[in-house]
């Protein structure tokens, strides 16, 4: 399933190249920025935890392509129910990335498939990282 991940998961060897963060590094609800890949154009994303779900998206707003956050790791509205773009105020559902209000209402953040293994949040092995980074 590519629509987020539960917080379980056992039995796989941990691929450190795909690690985003420890699950314990995410408040509930909470968010973090991350970078995956090397070189001049690594993939920059955000990960959000809410309850037993973890969701990740490209840190690129569909309105004007800006990063969503102004301060490190702060992607949520003050009530922590939505993801917010600090450039012009678009707000997105945590579970879907769908923009429910703002200048890009009806558009969506680009999902990055993730999974949780052994207490770590990882990019899913089938995630199209090169396509996402374009």
SS (H, E, C) 30-73: EEEEEEECCCCCCEEEEEEEECCEEEEEECCCCCCCCCCCCCCC
* Closest among 20, 123, 6, 29 to 82, alpha carbons compared: 29
* Residue 66 C-beta: closest distance to ligand FES, Å: 4
> Which lies closer to ligand FES via its Cβ, residue 90 or residue 116?
90
Interface pick for ligand FES out of 23, 90, 94, 114 (rule CB under 6 A): 90
Intra-chain end-to-end CA distance of the chain, in Å: 23
Q: State which residue, 88 or 118, has the beta carbon closest to ligand FES.
A: 88
Indicate the helix (H) or strand (E) that contains 132: helix 129-133
- Binding status of residue 73 toward ligand FES by CB under 6 A: no
Q: Does 97 bind ligand FES (CB under 6 A)?
A: no
Closest contact distance (angstroms) between CB of 53 and ligand FES is 23
What sign for the dihedral angle of Cα 62, 63, 64, 68?
negative
Q: Is 76 in the site for ligand FES (CB under 6 A)?
A: no
Question: Does 103 engage in binding with ligand FES (CB under 6 A)?
Answer: yes
> Could you tell me the smallest distance in angstroms from the CB atom of residue 90 to ligand FES?
4
CA atoms 94, 73, 113, 90: torsion sign: positive
Choose which of 12, 14, 22, 64 interacts with ligand FES (CB under 6 A).
64
- Residues in contact with ligand FES by the rule CB under 6 A: 61, 63-64, 66, 85, 87-90, 102-103
């Amino acid at each position: 399933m590519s629509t987020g991940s539960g917080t379980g998961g056992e039995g796989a060897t941990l691929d450190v190249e795909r690690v985003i963060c420890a699950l314990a590094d995410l408040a509930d609800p909470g968010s973090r920025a991350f970078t995956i890949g090397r070189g001049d154009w690594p993939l920059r994303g955000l990960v959000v935890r809410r309850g037993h779900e973890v969701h990740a998206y490209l840190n690129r707003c569909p309105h004007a392509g800006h990063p969503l956050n102004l301060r490190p790791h702060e992607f949520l509205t003050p009530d922590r129910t939505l993801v917010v773009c600090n450039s012009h105020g678009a707000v997105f559902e945590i579970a879907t990335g769908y923009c429910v209000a703002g200048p890009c209402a009806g558009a969506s953040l680009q999902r990055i498939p993730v999974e949780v293994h052994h207490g770590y949040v990882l990019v899913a092995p089938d995630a199209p990282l090169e396509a996402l980074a374009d």
